Amino acid sequence: MEKAKVTRKDLEIKKGTIEVDFIIVDGKTVNLTPVNYQSIEKYITHEECIDCGTEFAKRFSYDRKCSVCQSLDEIVKYNELPLVEWDGESALALYNDDLYFFDYESIEQYCEEHETEISSLLLVVCERSYFGHIDYEHFADNVHEDWEPSTEMKAKLEEFNKFLDSQSTETWFPSKKRVDLTEFAKEVYNG
């Protein structure tokens, strides 16, 4: 069953009082009856966009902009990111999304399936995650405050941290750097 359309204008805000149980402790009133604080936003299904004024169906109670204006805001934020050249190997992700691409062919396939052009994708380069180093603070709960590690322990920890530097978690995270694949696509098809 579809919800009835409710706009901000459809809901009249009224003043009133409610009765609550309370006690007085040290001269201060303490409410014993829980009072739900509700927001009018929870009940509005349609809103006027604060940017363009167009009425739109809200997807979330906090929506204040239509999808077109939200998309325009995203594009502005994306274009403010520094532009970097893609190395052809690092993973890429759609900006503010959890969709990752690990090769150029998967990007082409995505574009074909979604009937869009590569030039219209908001792509960011991803950075590979590595394991963090282990320092002496790791052992702080197990030793007294004046403890100093032995020379052998220092050497072993240094050796282990160098080993960690060579180990990837095989995890990628989107960076704050955008990429434009227009030139890359030209090289693929002209090369």
Query: Do 92 and 188 form a contact (C-beta atoms < 8 A)?
Result: no
3-state secondary structure of 105: helix
Query: Do 157 and 149 form a contact (C-beta atoms < 8 A)?
Result: yes
Query: Do 123 and 92 form a contact (C-beta atoms < 8 A)?
Result: yes
40 domain-assigned: yes
Taking alpha carbons only, the member of 31, 37, 36, 40 closest to residue 12 is 40
13 domain-assigned: yes
Cα–Cα distance, 164 to 133 (Å, whole number): 7
Taking alpha carbons only, the member of 94, 103, 59, 50 closest to residue 75 is 94
3-state secondary structure of 31: strand
For the entire predicted model, the pTM comes to: 0.66
Number of domains in the chain: 1
Tell me the pLDDT of the chain (191 aa) as tens digits.
667 888 888 888 888 888 889 999 999 999 898 877 777 888 889 999 999 999 999 988 888 999 999 999 999 999 999 999 998 889 999 999 999 999 999 999 999 999 999 889 999 999 988 888 888 777 777 878 888 888 998 899 999 999 998 887 888 999 999 998 877 766 666 65
Taking alpha carbons only, the member of 185, 190, 165 closest to residue 92 is 185
Query: Do 124 and 95 form a contact (C-beta atoms < 8 A)?
Result: yes
96 domain-assigned: no
The residues with which 172 forms a beta bridge, in sequence order, are 128
Task: Find the domain containing 21 and state its range.
Answer: 1-80
Taking alpha carbons only, the member of 113, 112, 71, 117 closest to residue 95 is 71
97 domain-assigned: no
Other beta carbons within 10 angstroms of residue 45's beta carbon come to 14
